[in-house]
Amino acid sequence: MLSDSLTSILRKLPAKSVHAHCDGPCGVYDPASARVAAEAVLSMTKKLIALSPAGNDQASMSAYNNTFSRFVAIKEEESQKTKKELLILWTDYFKPEHLSTYPDLHDTFWKAAKLCSACKVSIDQSKAEELITAVEKIHSMFWSSKGRDDKWVTAS
Amino acid sequence: MTNGLLQADKNLLQKPDLFTLLSLLVGYRHHLRVVGKSMLPFILEGDLLIYKKINSKKYDLKVGDLVIASHPKLKSHLIIKRIYKIDQKKFDLRGDNPLSSTDSREWGLINFNLIVGKVVKIFRD
C-alpha cells in the first residue's frame, strides 16, 4: 500500500532528464570522430609510402607483404569510418536552414566523401591531406553553426 | 570483478521508500529521469535515478560506479555513465551499451569537476 503510494508519487515527480547518449536521436554530434579517422588514413598512407622490403629473400618479402596488407586494411577501414562519420553529420546534424549560412555545405560534404573513396582506391598522400583539410572545414562549419569557435586540434 | 559489479548494480535497484522521498524533498538527494539507451541492459529509458552530489574534498568514487556528469561539449546536458577507469582525478566514463554510447572513447578522460553525482538508487516503474 505504502509502496504503491510512493511509486505513484515518484512517477508523477517532475524530473530533469539525464542522457544515456548515443549517436543520433540524442542530438549529440562531434566532428572529432571523423577527424581521428581521417588522421589515421593520412598516417597509414604515409606508412605505406615509406614501406619497403628489408631484402629480396623469402622471409623479407613475406614480412613486407604481411605489413603492407595490414596497412592497406587499416587505411581502408579508417577511410570508410571517416565517410560514415561525415555522412552522419551531413544527413543527421545539418538541416536545410544551415544552407543559407553555408551555401557550399552539400558540395563540401560531397567532396569530402569522394576523398574518402579516393583514399581507399589509391596510396596518395595528397588526397589524404586534402581529406584532412576537408574535415577541418567541416569542423569549422559545425562549431560555428553552434555559435562556438572550437580550436582545430589534431592528435598526430 | 564482473560478479562484483552485478551485485553492486542489483543493490541499486530498489523499491521506492519514504526515506528517499523525504531526502528528495529536503534536497539531500536528487533525481533524474533517463533518456536514451547507452546504459542498456542495466539502466532502461525512463528509469528514475537517485543520486548524491559529489563533494570535491571527500568523494568515494570507484571503478564500476554509475555517475552523473556534465557533457564535456554541452555543459547544460547531464549524462549517465559508468566509471571504467580512474587516473588520478580524471575519469574514463563508458556506456554499458558500447554500440549506442558516446563516451570517453571519443571524448577522452573526463575531469573530476564535470562529475556531478553518484547514483545511489534506481527506481523502475
Minimum CA–CA partner of A24 in chain B:
B100
User: pLDDT tens string for chain A (156 positions)?
Assistant: 677 777 777 777 788 888 886 544 456 788 999 999 999 999 999 999 999 999 999 999 999 999 999 999 999 999 999 999 999 899 878 877 789 999 999 999 999 999 999 999 999 999 999 999 999 999 999 999 888 888 998 987
The residue whose grid cell reads 607483404 is A65
Residue B2 — pLDDT band, cuts 50, 70, 90?
A: very low
Number of domains in chain B: 1
**Residue B106 touches partner A, C-beta closer than 8 Å:** yes
Of A103, A102, A97, A96, residue with least CA distance to A139: A102
Q: Hunting for cell 567532396 — which residue is that? A: A111
> How high is the pLDDT of residue B5?
53
The range of the structural domain enclosing residue B50 comes to 2-123
- CB contact (8 A) between residue B33 and residue A22: no
Closest chain B CA to residue A26: B36
More confident residue, B4 or A133: A133
Query: Rounded to an integer, what distance in angstroms lies between the CA atom of residue B62 and that of residue B81?
Result: 13
**Domain containing B7 — which CATH number?**
2.10.109.10
- Orientation angle between helical segments A105-121 and A58-88, nearest 10 degrees: 170
More reliable by pLDDT, A69 or B100: A69
Which residue bears the cell 560506479? B65
CB contact under 8 A, B102 and A3: no
- Rounded Cα distance, B81 and A80, in Å: 28
pLDDT in tens, B43-93: 888 899 999 999 877 778 999 999 999 988 777 889 999 999 999 889 999
Inter-chain CB proximity B32 and A6 less than 8 Å: no
What pLDDT does A84 receive? 93
The predicted structure's pLDDT at residue B3: 46
Q: CA-CA distance, A124 to A120, in Å (whole number)?
A: 9
Instruction: Say if the Cβ atoms of B36 and A19 lie within 8 Å.
Output: yes
Is the separation of the CB atoms in A26 and A17 below 8 Å? Answer: no
- Report all structural domains of chain A as residue ranges with CATH numbers, in order of start: 29-145 (1.20.120.400)
Give the nearest chain B residue to A148 (CA atoms): B73
CB atoms B37 and A17 under 8 Å: no
| Dihedral sign from CA coordinates of B20, B25, B29, B33 | positive
Q: What are phi and psi of B24, to 5 degrees?
A: -70, -40
Q: Is the pLDDT confidence value at B18 over 80?
A: yes
The rounded distance, in Å, linking the Cα atoms of A75 and B74 is: 32
